Amino acid sequence: MTDIPQPRKSPRQLRSQHTVDTILQATARVLATHGYAGTNTNLIAETAGVSVGSLYQYFPNKNALIAALHQRHDNQMLDVIDGVLNSNPAATLTERVAAIVQAMLHAHLLEPALHRVLEREFPLFDTPREHSLADQDIHRRMRHLLELHRAEIAQQDRDLATYVVLRIMESLVHAAALEPPAGFSTERLEQAVVDAVMGYLATPGGAVPRKRASAPKAGKPATRRKTAG
């Protein structure tokens, strides 16, 4: 397994943070325009208006830059869930799921070309998700949300439900943002994702259906047991 490249160092001062933000914004623009193969650190530095040396102070190569964009996106999703959890305490689970889906889809629609590159072209994208601390944080927050609303869901295994809900949201939001079907508004797509999530959560889970006894085939009467005597 290939490890995701890490930044050389994290910015500590406000000025350094601004430089890193500028470099990441430039990386996003270059990726969206040129794709993964056409992106290099020289072009990113030129677009950001910084020297290549300044870029290398923080990122050793373009893969580290793209990994940082993934991290930025994950942090945005964390902020989305935190905002929903800290909002109206009287909100129902459906209302909170709808708010998360709406914010997630909006975030993806802001930079659809960038997300298309990150999803399809970045060679390290398929690294196991459990290795990402941000993904673990997202899982914990969604698990907390389902626990808060446990009276509103039928799924008893909330660890499994958390995994499934996140995968439903992620898959459908990505598809709606990157390959939107023609003829449907964003609002209808959002509602479809919410319906899918809530439909799953409202379905009782865990019960294994028993096999029904097979009926005698037509035309062949059931054999009677002979009695003694």
Residue 204's CB: how many other CB atoms inside 10 A?
Answer: 9
Comparing C-alpha atoms, which of 107, 112, 118 is closest to residue 179? 112
- Domains with residue ranges and CATH for the chain: 14-201 (1.10.357.10)
Contacts of 25 (CB under 8 A, 6+ apart): 48
**What gap in Å lies between CA 25 and CA 213, rounded to an integer?**
64
Contacts of 64 (CB under 8 A, 6+ apart): 5, 6, 7, 8
Q: For the packed helices 158-178 and 186-201, what is the interaxial angle rounded to 10 degrees? A: 160
Q: DSSP state, 129? A: G
Contacts of 153 (CB under 8 A, 6+ apart): 93, 146, 161, 201, 202
What φ, ψ does residue 222 adopt, rounded to 5°? Answer: -65, 140
**What gap in Å lies between CA 35 and CA 118, rounded to an integer?**
9
**What gap in Å lies between CA 91 and CA 122, rounded to an integer?**
38
| pLDDT, tens digit, 9 for 90 and up, residues 159-182 | 999 999 999 998 998 888 878 888
Ordered per-residue pLDDT tens for the chain, 229 residues: 345 555 555 555 667 889 999 999 999 899 888 988 899 999 999 999 999 999 999 999 998 998 888 888 888 888 888 888 888 888 999 999 999 999 888 887 777 777 777 776 665 544 444 556 778 888 999 999 999 999 999 999 999 999 999 999 989 988 888 788 889 998 999 999 999 999 999 988 644 444 444 555 555 554 454 444 4
**What gap in Å lies between CA 54 and CA 11, rounded to an integer?**
12
